Amino acid sequence: MTSATTPPLLEVEDLSVVFPARRGGAPVAAIDGVSFDIAPGQTLGLVGQSGSGKTTTGRAVLRLQAIHRGSVKLLGRDLTRMSRSELRGMRRHMQFVLQNPYSSLHPRMTIAQILAEPLRVHKSAPENRTRERVEELLTLVNMDPATMHRYPNAFSGGQRQRIAIARALAVNPDFVVCDEPVSALDVQTQAQIVALLQSLQEKLGVSYLFIAHDLAIVREVAHKVAVMFRGRIIEMGAAGQVYDAPAHPYTQMLLDAVPVPDPALQRERLRRAQPERHFPDDETARGPCAFGEDHALSGTSRWHRVTAEHGVSCRFWPENSPLPAHDRAMET
């Protein structure tokens, strides 16, 4: 456990990403007002249905996606106020592992070349030590170093994901975004990769933003969980608390919907449940909210603390909610 005096490794504040308008409509915020912290050596699980903004959040945090507003601090340094060259220097602290191990490894590079590339780019191992480091990395992810001269097509999905993990860890990052890292794998392989990510965290003290639509896996790996809905975090807290006592109807539905392997069925269940009856989608709604507070009168935040380590929004956003007027003006 980190103490209150340990500063977070990653601090994300009020992050928004806006994609340009389609067919003459207003620009839509893919994510809006997203804030969270990740402590050193810990995992934040980010869950939510397809299109809720999880990947956009991960890319924006890594500064691979232009942001509209907000700040991202890694190791106390604001990535949103850096020059390109400063940001390049920060890249060795933050890496990513993506969902598809078939498209993420270059088919015409050997494993040795794939793992040597980040070492060269970030000058993190002298040339005469590269081979040694590649062997070390393969051992770290439980692969035989003798396989380093093979090409990705010689490996299974699970082995490829081990290689992708080794590549992410090559430069000793402090933080890795894992975007659906096991979704493309069979169940048995999923368990092995999850166990590997966990043991690497214990060994290396790396922090993860672990993005997944599979809530069971997130429960296993995450210290904290954030639930995303239509581009906003609607509930966040210690994993045990959010799973055992979900406070937002959307979180309850997501949990009820497990296991629903069929996204269409999950969407249908969510549509039927109409949580906006109790969690209004209008910011100016009058009368007591689900937690008994009349925000129209008090002007207080709609983010409620359930416990010291668990918060929830009393709102439910309408589909394709437009940007606030002042943001729209900034966009044009």
Ligand X SMILES: Nc1ncnc2c1ncn2[C@@H]1O[C@H](COP(=O)(O)OP(=O)(O)OP(=O)(O)O)[C@@H](O)[C@H]1O
Q: Among 63, 68, 213, 248, indicate the residue that binds ligand X (CB under 6 A).
A: 213
The two three-digit tokens of residue 203, written as one number: 């060994």
Q: For residue 201, state whether it binds Mg ion (rule: CB under 5 A).
A: no
Q: For residue 19, state whether it binds ligand X (rule: CB under 6 A).
A: yes
Q: Among 45, 53, 118, 275, indicate the residue that binds ligand X (CB under 6 A).
A: 53
Least distance from ligand X to the Cβ atom of residue 230, Å: 8
Q: To the nearest 5 percent, what fractions of the chain are helix, strand and coil?
A: 40, 20, 40
Least distance from Mg ion to the Cβ atom of residue 57, Å: 9
Q: For residue 56, state whether it binds Mg ion (rule: CB under 5 A).
A: no
Least distance from Mg ion to the Cβ atom of residue 299, Å: 35
Buried/exposed code over 242-254 (b: 16+ C-beta within 10 A; e: otherwise): bbeebbbbbbebb
Q: For residue 145, state whether it binds ligand X (rule: CB under 6 A).
A: no
Binding range to Mg ion, per CB under 5 A, among 52-60, 104-112, 248-256, 298-306:
52-60
Least distance from Mg ion to the Cβ atom of residue 56, Å: 8
The one-letter amino acid at 166: A
Asked whether the beta carbons of 230 and 321 are under 8 A apart, the reply is: yes
Longest CA–CA separation in the chain, Å: 69
Asked whether the beta carbons of 11 and 37 are under 8 A apart, the reply is: yes
Asked whether the beta carbons of 247 and 65 are under 8 A apart, the reply is: no
The two three-digit tokens of residue 49, written as one number: 């249905």
Q: Among 10, 12, 30, 72, indicate the residue that binds ligand X (CB under 6 A).
A: 30
What is the C-alpha separation between 270 and 289, in angstroms, rounded?
Answer: 21
Closest among 257, 218, 256 to 240, alpha carbons compared: 218
Least distance from ligand X to the Cβ atom of residue 138, Å: 29
The two three-digit tokens of residue 121, written as one number: 């780019």
Q: For residue 81, state whether it binds ligand X (rule: CB under 6 A).
A: no
Q: Among 55, 207, 241, 313, indicate the residue that binds Mg ion (CB under 5 A).
A: 55
How many Å from the N-terminal Cα to the C-terminal Cα in the chain? 46
Q: Among 16, 42, 43, 56, indicate the residue that binds ligand X (CB under 6 A).
A: 56
Question: Which of 174, 180 has the CB closer to ligand X?
Answer: 180
Question: Which of 55, 161 has the CB closer to Mg ion?
Answer: 55
Which of Mg ion, ligand X, none sits in contact with 310, Cβ below 5 to 8 A by type? Answer: none
In DSSP notation, 23-55 reads TT---EEEEEEEEEEE-TT-EEEEE--TTSSHH
Binding range to Mg ion, per CB under 5 A, among 1-9, 49-57, 87-95, 304-312:
49-57
Binding mask 225-244 for ligand X (x = CB under 6 A): --------------------
Size of the site for ligand X (CB under 6 A): 11
Which of Mg ion, ligand X, none sits in contact with 207, Cβ below 5 to 8 A by type? Answer: none
For 13, counting Cβ atoms within 10 Å of its Cβ (0-12 exposed, 13-18 middle, 19+ buried), the class is middle
Asked whether the beta carbons of 171 and 122 are under 8 A apart, the reply is: yes
Q: For residue 52, state whether it binds ligand X (rule: CB under 6 A).
A: yes
- Catalog residues that contact Mg ion under the rule CB under 5 A: 54-55
- Catalog residues that contact ligand X under the rule CB under 6 A: 19, 30, 48, 50-56, 213
